[in-house]
Structure 1
Amino acid sequence: MLAAVLHGPYDMRVEEVETPVPGKGEVLLRIKACAICGSDLHAYKGKHQKVTFPRILGHEFSGVIEALSPEIKDFKVGDRVVVDTNKTCGQCPQCKAGRPNLCKTTVNFGFKMDGAFAEFVRVPEGINIYKMPESISFEEAALAQPLGVALNAVRRRAVVTVGDTVAVLGAGPIGLSAAALAKACGAQVLVTDTEDFRLEIAKKMGADEVVNVLKDDVVGKSLEFTRQNGFDKVIEAVGGMQDTTIQQTTQIVKPGGLIVVVGNFSGNKATLRITEFKDREIEIRGSRGQHGTVPYCLKLIESGVIDVKPMITHTIALDGIVKGLERLEEQKGRTMKVIVKF
């Protein structure tokens, strides 16, 4: 089969590799669509700590079952499916407590096992598989993964509900998904970013107000939006600039409000405005992963409650994947989500 193999930083080659064979309890999936994630870009640049080389990246994908083990009875060849991106142990305290996204021995597609920038991917036993509704395209279904990350942040961690005021910092795919979900929950939503074209997409996905932080006063606009009260919930989805954004969150959240950090790839350093944090009794929570959210995300997309299509700005063939990664890195041509289509 053809696959995009990452041999080292900035060394990705589309080449012939052996097609995997499903073993006991396993499925072979023919990939139809696989989106490029920011974590794929970090791996391509050699800055992702979980990646070993050589590796086939790709964890936001959908496809059709090509072959499967005889032990599997609930699926058949030809089924259109999406799968969870992680394999967890099922035995640790976190897994047993119903929080497998915190499993310490998680194995991820595209990082610790080969992913879906390939014609086929082997789905190991123990990973959940979900049938796709016929009305959903493969490209839309591939975005169930980032939508699920946002769902974990918005519903499980922030518990956004009707009447909340919510600020989402960062209009990347996770931030845009979080904004759409918060709006669907009945919240009033403000989204911030540094790029106007991203904020245009945020408006299409339901944001009530947008703020370009390079042009406007974030704190002033936020207080105006909330009638000087501050936001009930603030979701930080930027990641790379957290020494700035975490400080912003404590300035715009209300006294007794909640901050949820879902942004990734920071320098693992953020200065907290500790006086505001303490005196205003602000809460802060982390949010990690999307385990178990796929079926909900598929229903949200199928029903039209969430429209992920505005995020899809480019589709490419597998042989154009390096150019797709470069486009994301350089932010060429109003790029949001690039999907490799097979």
Structure 2
Amino acid sequence: MKSVVIQEPEKLVIEERPIPQPLPGEVRLRVESAGICGSDVHIYRGHNPFAKYPRVIGHEFFGRIDAVGEGVESSRIGERVVGDPVVSCGHCYPCSVGKPNVCTSLQVIGVHRDGGFSEYITLPARNAHVVPDSIADREATMIEPFTIAANICSQMNPGPLDVALVYGAGPMGLTTIQALRGVYGVKEIIVADRLDERLAMAKESGADRIINNTDIDLASELSKLGIRPTLIVDAACHVSILPEAIGLASPAARIGIMGFSSEPCMISQQGITSKELTIYSSRLNSNRFPMVIDWMVKGKIAPEKLITHQFDYTHVINAMEIFEKDPKTCCKVLLKF
């Protein structure tokens, strides 16, 4: 089989590898489509501290089960499935309280173990979620990105009284905007980003108000508009955002952080406690695949809006460079296998 392998930082090859055999409790997928994420580029560039090389990347993948390991029903062969990249032990403290995404022995497919940029992949059977026929293949590949939005939203519990501010109109921000609008029905969504093209995507995904904050002070702009956000989502993850968000937030607001900067930031304890703010952090997803599949079946989100490019996997380097260097026109890039 052909696999996309990062042999070491900055060295990507398409390599011939043996077709893997599923272990007990596993299934094997014939991969049909996979999505490129920023973390894939980070591994390619050598900026992901968790990755070990060589590594087959890719944690957003869709395909059909073509083999099963011992203990898995043979009736699963032929199922259309999407893979959850979170592989957990199931018995440590985080797993026991519903947080397998921070399992003490966590393995992430495409980071700690080989991923979905390959013609075949094996994974635990419980991580292979059936995709209903009503969901097209391209949209099925988008289920994993939306689980990231589902994870932060499930913690923050948005509702119709909320005025939401979303920092960043990249893939994480756009999936979150769609969830806030189509699933949770928040009162108003404001999006701040520094690219007009991305802000246009945010508007199409359900934002009510867009703000290019390249050369303006966001606090002053929101003050002029009389807006005090009750729910703030940091989908841009710059070191300056959390301190600013604490200042902008309404009393009793919730702030959600979807990623991280390696740089430290200074925050005000007084700013948090004086308003009794709640701050949530989110990593990957904690069993959110059934939730997102239900959203798609019911038409509450529109993943097709975020797919801007598609390539054959043999053009993976071109695809990753476009994803990395063309944020004005590129959002989600799919690879066909």
TM-score tier by shorter-chain length is over 0.9
With structure 1 as the length reference, what TM-score do the two structures score? 0.93
The answer to whether residue 250 in structure 2 is matched with residue 254 in structure 1 is: yes
Deviation sequence 1:114-158 (CA, Å, 0-9, x none): 101111101135x43211111212221121111111111112x21
Cα distance, 1:80–1:224 mapped onto 2, change above 3 Å: farther
Give the whole-Å Cα distance in 2 for the aligned partners of 1:58 and 1:44.
Answer: 11
- Partner of 1:139 in structure 2? 138
The answer to whether residue 302 in structure 2 is matched with residue 334 in structure 1 is: no
Give the whole-Å Cα distance in 1 for the aligned partners of 2:74 and 2:206.
Answer: 37
- Partner of 1:317 in structure 2? 312
1:277: Cα distance to partner?
Answer: 2.7
Contact persistence 2:101–2:283 (CA under 8 A): yes
For the residue of structure 2 that corresponds to 1:33, the secondary structure is strand
Give the whole-Å Cα distance in 2 for the aligned partners of 1:121 and 1:95.
Answer: 24
Give the whole-Å Cα distance in 2 for the aligned partners of 1:63 and 1:25.
Answer: 18
> What pairs up with 1:47-86 in 2 under 5 angstroms?
47-69=47-69, 71-73=71-73, 75-86=75-86
- Partner of 2:283 in structure 1? 288
Give the whole-Å Cα distance in 1 for the aligned partners of 2:284 and 2:307.
Answer: 21
Give the whole-Å Cα distance in 1 for the aligned partners of 2:74 and 2:248.
Answer: 49
Q: Which amino acid aligns with 1:134?
A: D
1:273: Cα distance to partner?
Answer: 4.0
Give the whole-Å Cα distance in 1 for the aligned partners of 2:233 and 2:158.
Answer: 10
Q: Which amino acid aligns with 2:158?
A: V
Deviation sequence 1:88-130 (CA, Å, 0-9, x none): 01111111122212212111111111101111101135x4321
Contact persistence 2:165–2:190 (CA under 8 A): yes
Give the whole-Å Cα distance in 2 for the aligned partners of 1:3 and 1:288.
Answer: 27
The answer to whether residue 151 in structure 2 is matched with residue 152 in structure 1 is: yes
- Partner of 2:167 in structure 1? 169
Higher mean alpha-carbon deviation, 52-61 vs 206-215, is at 206-215
Deviation sequence 1:3-51 (CA, Å, 0-9, x none): 1110011100012111111122211101111101111111110010111
Give the whole-Å Cα distance in 1 for the aligned partners of 2:128 and 2:74.
Answer: 10
Give the whole-Å Cα distance in 2 for the aligned partners of 1:144 and 1:50.
Answer: 23
Contact persistence 2:171–2:331 (CA under 8 A): yes
Q: Which amino acid aligns with 1:68?
A: V
Q: Which amino acid aligns with 2:236?
A: V
Deviation sequence 1:230-285 (CA, Å, 0-9, x none): 1111011112x22x211221122102211111124x12422224443343332222
- Partner of 2:22 in structure 1? 22
Contact persistence 1:3–1:14 (CA under 8 A): yes
Aligned-pair identity (%): 30
Q: Which amino acid aligns with 2:156?
A: A
User: RMSD of aligned C-alpha atoms?
Assistant: 1.7
Deviation sequence 1:175-232 (CA, Å, 0-9, x none): 111111111211111111111111111111111111111144422333355x34x111
For the residue of structure 2 that corresponds to 1:267, the secondary structure is coil
Q: Which amino acid aligns with 1:233?
A: L
Give the whole-Å Cα distance in 1 for the aligned partners of 2:327 and 2:192.
Answer: 20
With structure 2 as the length reference, what TM-score do the two structures score? 0.94
Deviation sequence 1:290-325 (CA, Å, 0-9, x none): 121111111111221100111111101111111111
Gap runs ≥5 in structure 2: none
> What pairs up with 1:167-246 in 2 under 5 angstroms?
167-184=165-182, 185-187=184-186, 188-225=188-225, 227-228=226-227, 230-239=228-237, 241-242=238-239, 244-246=240-242
Aligned partner of 1:297 among 280, 292, 300: 292
Give the whole-Å Cα distance in 1 for the aligned partners of 2:88 and 2:70.
Answer: 23
Give the whole-Å Cα distance in 2 for the aligned partners of 1:189 and 1:75.
Answer: 45
Give the whole-Å Cα distance in 2 for the aligned partners of 1:35 and 1:49.
Answer: 21
The answer to whether residue 267 in structure 2 is matched with residue 267 in structure 1 is: no
Q: Which amino acid aligns with 1:231?
A: P
- Partner of 1:88 in structure 2? 88
For the residue of structure 1 that corresponds to 2:135, the secondary structure is coil
Higher mean alpha-carbon deviation, 90-99 vs 276-285, is at 276-285
Q: Which amino acid aligns with 1:288?
A: R
Contact persistence 1:84–1:291 (CA under 8 A): no
Cα distance, 1:75–1:260 mapped onto 2, change above 3 Å: farther
- Partner of 2:4 in structure 1? 4
For the residue of structure 2 that corresponds to 1:297, the secondary structure is helix
For the residue of structure 2 that corresponds to 1:231, the secondary structure is coil
> What pairs up with 1:81-120 in 2 under 5 angstroms?
81-120=81-120
Q: Which amino acid aligns with 1:182?
A: L
Q: Which amino acid aligns with 2:30?
A: R
